Chains A and B, each alone.
Chain A
Amino acid sequence: MSTRAYAVTRAGRRAAVPASLVVLFLLPLILMPLAAVFLFAFRGGPLAFWNGLKTPEAQFALRFSLLVAFATAAVNTVLGTFTAYVLSRYRFRGQRILGIVVNLPVAIPTVVVGTSLLLLWGPIGLLGRALPSGLQPMFAPAGVLLAHLFVTFPYMLGAVKPVMDEMEETYEEAAYTIGATTWQTFRYVILPTLKGGLFAGALLTFAHSLGEFGATVMVSGNLRLKTQTAPLYIFAQFEAGNIEAANAVAAVLALLSFFIFFVLLRYTGREGD
């Protein structure tokens, strides 16, 4: 109560100077680039924008990106939740190290992730060479999925584990004494409690997968109509000088991201109340 009153008086009296300062340096850094995406996308008029989106390559890239993002979010929701559960509920040797390792993917440059995946799963890689040619994951959709799973793994964990840590063990024990089996306890007690974390984690994973570039460009081979995701398409078109085509897809990606972001914002805001 008191802090809010303090903030109000601050805003009323002296906020003008620092606030305009922030807007001033954010203008070239964030605000203008955000606006530019849409400005350039529609510069040639709506028809040019529509033509840019209509090509089979653009269509494929967008659809492929969405599909991979869904798959990544789905797989990591399951794996991340399970990992969070194990890390939060059990005590074992090497637990601390495991907790650090599963969070490492956020710290590693994505291009490095791409190279190491290639070295591991590539046609002459450590594991890849053992696979028959039909099942090679690199330069195929499976490779893109592998890369995205790796890169986005910490997001699910980061969203679910704090909720899990906060949930007292007596919560589950209460369900057991009431008569619920382990599964019923998970289904009716743990899962509903995790709902918020799961939702936020899945959206974050989805958003990051949608925009992933560094690892994808390495493992996908950037194959048109086969492994080219939307970000790769934008890059390829830009390099070829098709600015309109690149901008059209970029605008769609940006819109999608905004949408996810606002859903997250609303959702977490409501949870906070």
Chain B
Amino acid sequence: MSVTLENVTKHYGGGQVVVDRVSLDVQTGELFVLLGASGSGKSTILRMLAGLTAPDEGVIRFADRDVTLVPPQKRDVGLVFQNYSIFRHMTVGENIEFGLRIRGVPAVEREQRREELLELVGLGGLAARYDSQLSGGQRQRVALARALAYKPAVLLLDEPFGALDVKIRTQLRQNLKEIHKTLGVTTVLVTHDQEEAFELGQRIAVMERGRLLEVNTPEKLYAQPRSLFVATFLGGGTILVGRCQDHKVALGGLSLPIPAEVPHDEGDRVRVLIRPEQVRLTAERPRPGAPVLGQGEVVEQNFSGATRRTRVRLPPLAGVRQVVPPLPFGEENPILDAVVPAHDPPTPPAPWVTLEAWHILRQPTPRLLVCDEGEGIAPALELAKPLVDALDAIATVLGVSPDARRQDALREALTERAAAAGLAQPAIRVRRGDLAEQIALEEREAPYDFVIVGAGDSDPRPALRHTNLYEELLPRIKTPLLLVRGRPRRFERILICTAVGEPGKADIRAGGWLARRLNATVTLLHVTISGRTMPALVHAHLTRGVATLRELEVKGRPSLREAATPLEGILAELRSEPYDLVVTGAPPPLARTPIRSVSITQAIVRRAGCSILVVPAGTW
């Protein structure tokens, strides 16, 4: 029987999302694996399939039957728990027969079925044993036989090999595979073990923090992952970032063509995944035309039985950065992971590095969280449309209702207003509770790149002014927060203030990234306090800032201002030129004092006349 999940969501008591809008299809007779680290929500999905936990939103279907709220007894599923939960007061035989006894199957038939199953799982002759007389592997088989006894339409397995040692695990995996082949029952297996998922799954769904990242066959997931997480979660390898030039990514002297299905712009950063077994290390210089990265230097070799794991330091590759694995401190050249068959001749100390294959990852799509109140002016929504177009982003529209009764009305209003603002079918989220608190919760639960909020002080009606919304949001939020003020227009002139707090790079990066996508010019402002100037330091700081912008291919000019306080300097700069957007860092949370002192960020937000992007340190 096929199993379908449509937008299934589950929250814990505290409002934290465990399963976030998961949709998937399991074919009839398929062995489907849900793979993820602990806390990824995979077990919760299994419990929802079994009927032991009810989803908060979404629909679960077995074939055409909606079973979302059907109790476990009526679902016709077999579930094998991680701890097996064999009934201790019953013999193995009684355990297996339990489901049949409940269903009123006559004793003769039960006995026959019991013997069949014991044979199937390889426990013939052990019917009279009790739980305490079984080994871990035998327990697992009993649990499996018990779950299969009444021929369930769907078999669910929760980490069935988790508690067993490696040798037995391999054997039982093989058994499970054979049993599945014999019975052809639709099976969903949950595991955190990548190897297990590869060996068993006909298809694998990778989950992270409640979200379903990718579903595919093991081979495709390994060779052509779409996201960075899947690429690194499944198997090892090195990920290098290079620049896109003429539909190719440049890794030093090597240019790798970018496939058409990976959307890319000229100058984009493109991530290249190189699996260890795709690297060839040779003593002789490869023939011309081969994809050569250059002559490297062996850093480390580890013998692991069938293979030798080798790490090779590459020659410097201009414009290439290594993301995975992170380079040791002070290392400037990329270091590539390679695997060589152990019987190959020893790797020379300075081998030539050739790529036999590689995979180009898709660009991550920026995600915007657009907060709207469902009435009054809609500055955040109006800005969302040009941003979505310019950044090629996905927008989620969030509304917060103070009480449950108005949630549906708010959802309707949001849909209407989003359409009016020109957003094509955005995801609509409605939450209940305090505005600032719910925005912060949503931001914590799902990964967003920018949170967009109306500054709230420009609405003509006083009742709709939330002048203190951003003040409540600022200390809570960890994503760059865009406060929209006035009628939003295109951001053509951006002012990045580096005077605030720690001269962080996050604000320059985030501001620069936006500027490049929006084709805006950037002014990098540093305010020096009168009488306390340290020209050399300031100069170095600004030079580095401009260099960062240049790297992002943004035209930036530095500006130095002397003033009594940083705030005055910034306000003076804002008066001198018509800026559309001010970018500033956020005060680190620890800097907040028990007394409600006004941070410089808050002061800028209050007194600047234009939109503001607040970038928390360490986000970009």
Contact = CB atoms under 8 A, between A and B. Distances in A.
22 contacts: A170-B81, A170-B83, A173-B50, A173-B52, A173-B72, A173-B81, A174-B85, A175-B98, A176-B52, A176-B73, A177-B52, A177-B73, A177-B75, A177-B147, A178-B78, A178-B147, A178-B150, A180-B73, A180-B98, A181-B73, A192-B89, A193-B87
Contacts of A168: 83, 85
B319 interface: no
Given A168-B83, A168-B85, A179 B99 contact: yes
Interface of B: 50-52, 71-73, 75, 77-79, 81, 83, 85, 87-90, 98-99, 102-103, 146-147, 150, 156
A195 interface: yes
Interface string A166-199: 0010110111111111001000110011010000
Nearest first, the 7 closest Cβ-Cβ pairs linking A and B are A192-B89, A174-B85, A177-B79, A176-B72, A178-B99, A170-B85, A170-B81
A138 to B, nearest CB: 43
Nearest to A195: B89
B437 to A, nearest CB: 23
A92 to B, nearest CB: 13
B103 A179 contact: yes
Contacts of A171: 85, 87
Contacts of A184: 102
Contacts of A181: 73
The secondary-structure label for the interface of chain A is helix
Given A173-B52, A174-B146, 15 more contacts: A173-B72, A174-B87, A177-B50, A177-B72, A177-B73, A177-B78, A178-B98, A178-B99, A178-B150, A179-B150, A180-B73, A181-B73, A184-B102, A192-B87, A195-B89
A177 to B, nearest CB: 4
Given A173-B52, A173-B72, A179 B85 contact: no
B531 to A, nearest CB: 61
Given A171-B87, A189-B87, A180 B81 contact: no
A254 B146 CA distance: 49
Nearest to A273: B132
A178 B100 CA distance: 9
A174 B83 CA distance: 11
A173 B150 CA distance: 16
Nearest to B88: A193
Contacts of B81: 170, 173-174
Contacts of B102: 178-180, 184
A190 to B, nearest CB: 10
A174 B79 contact: yes
A255 B582 CA distance: 92
A178 B146 contact: yes
A177 B77 contact: yes
Interface of A: 168, 170-171, 173-181, 184, 188-189, 192-193, 195
A188 B88 CA distance: 11
A173 to B, nearest CB: 5
A63 B102 CA distance: 43
A91 B156 CA distance: 28
B52 to A, nearest CB: 5
A100 to B, nearest CB: 25
A102 to B, nearest CB: 26
B51 A177 contact: yes
B7 to A, nearest CB: 24
A171 B146 CA distance: 13
Contacts of A177: 50-52, 72-73, 75, 77-79, 147, 156
A175 B77 CA distance: 12
Which of B78, B87, B88 gathers most chain A CB within 10 Å?
B87
A188 B87 CA distance: 10
A171 B83 CA distance: 9
Given A171-B87, A189-B87, A179 B73 contact: yes
Nearest to B78: A177
A175 B52 CA distance: 11
B98 A188 contact: yes
A181 B51 CA distance: 13
A174 B88 CA distance: 13
A178 B80 CA distance: 10
A182 to B, nearest CB: 9
A175 B78 CA distance: 10
Nearest to A182: B73
B526 to A, nearest CB: 56
Contacts of A170: 81, 83, 85
Contacts of B150: 178-179
A92 B147 CA distance: 33
A70 B414 CA distance: 68
A170 B147 CA distance: 14
B77 to A, nearest CB: 6
A178 B73 CA distance: 7
B50 A193 contact: no
A189 B88 CA distance: 9
Nearest to B150: A179
Contacts of B156: 177
A105 B50 CA distance: 43
Contacts of A179: 73, 99, 102-103, 150
Nearest to B80: A174
Contacts of A195: 89
Given A170-B85, A188-B98, A176 B71 contact: yes
A171 B78 CA distance: 14
Contacts of B51: 176-177
A195 B103 CA distance: 25
B147 to A, nearest CB: 7
A233 B51 CA distance: 59
Contacts of A175: 87, 98
Which of A171, A173, A174, A193 gathers most chain B CB within 10 Å?
A174
Contacts of B88: 193
Nearest to B81: A170
A180 B149 CA distance: 14
A184 B77 CA distance: 18
B77 A193 contact: no
Contacts of A188: 98
B477 to A, nearest CB: 32
A193 B89 contact: yes
A126 to B, nearest CB: 40
Contacts of B99: 178-179
A10 B81 CA distance: 46
A266 to B, nearest CB: 19
A180 B79 CA distance: 13
Nearest to A172: B85
